[in-house]
Amino acid sequence: MNRSNRIRTLKGTVLLIAVVILLRLFYIQVLDETYKTNAANNVLRYMVQYPPRGEVYDRNGEFLVQSKEAYDLMVTPREVHDLDTLLMSRILEIPVEQLREELAKARRYSPYRASVVVKQLPKETKLKLEEHSFPGFYTVYRTVRSYPTKMAGNLLGYVGEVNERIIERNPYYRSGDYIGMSGIEQAYEEVLRGVKGVKIEMVDVHGVPQGSYANGIYDTLASPGVAITCTIDARLQALAEELMQGKVGSVVAIEPETGEILVMASSPTYDPDELVGRERGNNYMKLLNDPRRPLYNRAVMSPYPPGSTFKVLQGLIGLQEGVLVPEQTYPCHGGYPYGRGMKCHAHSSPRDLKGAIQTSCNAYFCYVFRNIIENKKYKNIEEGFDVWGDYVRSFGYGRKLGSDFNGELNGNVPTSAFYDKAYRGRWNGLTIISLSIGQGEMGCTPLQMANMVATIANRGYYRIPHVVKRIHDRDSIDSRFYEKHYTKVDSRHFDPIVEGMYMAVNEGGTGHVAMVPGLDICGKTGTAQNPHGRDNSTFFCFAPRNNPKIAVSVYIENGGFGATVAAPIASLLTEYYLTDTIKRPDLVERIKTMQIAYPYYEKQRGK
């Protein structure tokens, strides 16, 4: 290529580049709106549109949780001019000093970015603000939770403002957003929260709104949260909470065939409306500092010893292992005579399996337990004990059940390794004999106990307990809640256990107080040792005997014998659910007014 050709090529290249640059400038300055929009940002206000959270219904369509209208008052400090703080404080009904402090915090946060001055204002206050000109201030639509039934605080949970840790973990949330903090509100947060929108508003240099930007074509609408139908029966839940007044413990009721939780009551509880509105912070600290821990959901978080209710499981394992037949009898003359012994209350002797369940014989199940773990088909007691533990865990003890409820704890089923370490390898059946009656290191939650009795009602299987029946934008809930989980005990072994539980209630056994003519309630009492006071009272049951519709577990700290308080509560709930009425109003009143002393908690209050 000669010199002249190279010059022409170079000129052409330069000219082409110049044309491209000119065309790009023309596009940016004339055709492309993006840069115009960005340039206008200094007079645009982007306001988040918060969706209402989804409602929560009980299984019969009654509202448990609703959302009601509220507003947050926002301020952009650099836009504030000639503010009449006295007038604004009167409208907001807050001290003027508090208003000034909030404005000072907003300026320290950022003069250019909007921040909250006052949260959750009622609509009436918003309208009063709009009657006056307050440059730099505007309101943002929010919703707050409302609880029409005033119950099930631990079950439903509460909503609170996100903190920095939550924001760092989940980019969806921004400062000032709200999130479910516990219960159903937390477990189903992504369903209930909805999707935020954005409204772009034009403001002048004084911060006064001038209308929607570009007629709202860049706005996005908020999408409301999805409603949820709970498995809870609101009427039954209300009765459970009434009966639990003045007591510490828990009630859980399950529909055996489906695993749907009908009642989850933890006592003491709280009115969930206490954790809504301006007094939320004060009320939360009051509840947090209460030594009886009303924010603590005992139904899924307290690993109680199951006491004598555990005997039915010993019988099932013994039958499956072939070391027990229903007709086999063992003597009881005031207790189990070997080792340190195990006392028992007075009853006729000897007893077979059904009779031992009927009278809750301690000695009988000491014999059964030792026969299981010391079975000669195992090479040593460690192996036999771990086989026993596998049976127990197959009923849902010692592990999380996998429910849709946050906060569920494992409980405890000890292992041979634990005892090898604790006793340096020198232990036998007599060393751990207290496990035979659900004491010692055994720990299980009321939810696990309710699941256990539901498993007996089903003759050997359970479905994972859950609290949500339907999510309104979906065809079904999680498939895992439809699956049957079978225990390691064959279904044929459950009949004598069920017969014994029937006799315990209907034929003069320890649970006779729970009998309701015609309902065929099958149950088992339990009295569990308590290091902090009187024995704990526990009872679980199901009804009717065939085609059961409800399984109930009640656990009362310091309640004494299982028949004293736990059994009457379970019986009343079963009667109400199956018959829609209660024919023992005197028993209802007696249990409702029963106040149990708790020296341990009172001692904690004084510290």
124-142 per-position pLDDT tens digit: 999 999 899 888 898 888 8
Give Cβ neighbours of residue 123 (< 8 Å, ≥ 6 apart).
Answer: 69, 70, 71
At residue 283, the pLDDT reads: 87
* Residue appearing with tokens 């009172």: 602
103 vs 105: CA distance, rounded Å: 5
Measured on CA atoms in the order 501, 504, 507, 513, is the torsion positive or negative?
negative
327 vs 499: CA distance, rounded Å: 13
Tell whether the model's pLDDT for residue 4 goes beyond 70: no
What is each CA distance from 87 to 128, 222, 244, 447, 457, in whole angstroms? 11, 33, 48, 54, 66
The mean-pLDDT minimum among 103-117, 312-326, 485-499 falls in 103-117
Give the DSSP letter string of 475-502: SSS-GGGG--EE-SS-GGGHHHHHHHHH
| Cα-based torsion angle of the residue sequence 162, 403, 314, 311 in order, rounded to the nearest 10 degrees | 60
Q: Report percent pLDDT > 70 for the chain.
A: 92
Question: How are beta strands 115-121 and 63-75 bridged, if at all?
Answer: antiparallel
91 vs 118: CA distance, rounded Å: 12
The mean-pLDDT minimum among 141-155, 305-319, 383-397 falls in 141-155
What pTM did the predictor assign? 0.86
At residue 38, the pLDDT reads: 44
468 vs 261: CA distance, rounded Å: 8
Question: How are beta strands 209-212 and 228-230 bridged, if at all?
Answer: unpaired
Tell whether the model's pLDDT for residue 484 goes beyond 50: yes
The mean-pLDDT minimum among 36-50, 109-123, 318-332, 538-552 falls in 36-50
Residue range 534-546: average pLDDT?
Answer: 95
Q: How confident is the model at residue 578 (pLDDT cuts 50, 70, 90)?
A: very high
At residue 22, the pLDDT reads: 67
At residue 414, the pLDDT reads: 95
109 vs 104: CA distance, rounded Å: 9
SS (H, E, C) 315-345: HHHHHHHCCCCCCCCECCCCEECCCCCEECC
Other C-beta atoms lying within 10 Å of the C-beta of residue 607: 5
At residue 41, the pLDDT reads: 44
Query: Where is pLDDT greater, at 143 or 414?
Result: 414
What is each CA distance from 522 to 286, 498, 562, in whole angstroms? 41, 7, 14
Q: How confident is the model at residue 290 (pLDDT cuts 50, 70, 90)?
A: confident
Can you read off the two tokens belonging to residue 321?
Answer: 């292992």
233 vs 241: CA distance, rounded Å: 12
Tell whether the model's pLDDT for residue 353 goes beyond 90: yes
Q: Which residues pair with 200 in a beta bridge?
A: 46
Give Cβ neighbours of residue 270 (< 8 Å, ≥ 6 apart).
Answer: 153, 154, 287, 294, 295
The mean-pLDDT minimum among 26-35, 118-127, 321-330 falls in 26-35
Give yes or no for a contact between 533 and 248, defined as CB atoms under 8 angstroms apart: no
At residue 18, the pLDDT reads: 64
At residue 26, the pLDDT reads: 61
pLDDT tens for residues 248-285? 999 999 999 999 999 999 999 998 888 887 778 888 89
At residue 12, the pLDDT reads: 65
At residue 40, the pLDDT reads: 45
What is each CA distance from 470 to 45, 475, 577, in whole angstroms? 39, 8, 21
SS3 category, 434: helix
pLDDT tens for residues 161-218? 888 899 889 988 888 888 999 999 999 999 999 998 888 877 766 556 677 777 778 8
| Cα-based torsion angle of the residue sequence 489, 492, 493, 495 in order, rounded to the nearest 10 degrees | 140
Q: Which letter does DSSP use for residue 220 in this model?
A: B
466 vs 448: CA distance, rounded Å: 12
Tell whether the model's pLDDT for residue 13 goes beyond 80: no
At residue 33, the pLDDT reads: 54
Tell whether the model's pLDDT for residue 30 goes beyond 80: no
What distance lies between CA 299 and its chain's CA centroid? 9
Domains identified in the chain and CATH numbers = 44-230 (3.90.1310.10), 234-606 (3.40.710.10)
363 vs 350: CA distance, rounded Å: 10
Tell whether the model's pLDDT for residue 591 goes beyond 50: yes
Other C-beta atoms lying within 10 Å of the C-beta of residue 507: 14
Give Cβ neighbours of residue 318 (< 8 Å, ≥ 6 apart).
Answer: 324, 368, 371, 372
At residue 277, the pLDDT reads: 78
At residue 279, the pLDDT reads: 79
How buried is residue 21: exposed, middle or buried, by Cβ count under 10 Å (0-12/13-18/19+)? exposed
Q: How confident is the model at residue 76 (pLDDT cuts 50, 70, 90)?
A: confident
Q: Which residues pair with 559 in a beta bridge?
A: none
Other C-beta atoms lying within 10 Å of the C-beta of residue 63: 14
**Average pLDDT of every residue of the chain:** 89
Residue range 469-473: average pLDDT?
Answer: 94
Give the DSSP letter string of 254-301: EETTTTEEEEEEEES---GGGGSSTTHHHHHHHHHT-TT-TTS-HHHH
Residue range 431-446: average pLDDT?
Answer: 94
At residue 35, the pLDDT reads: 45
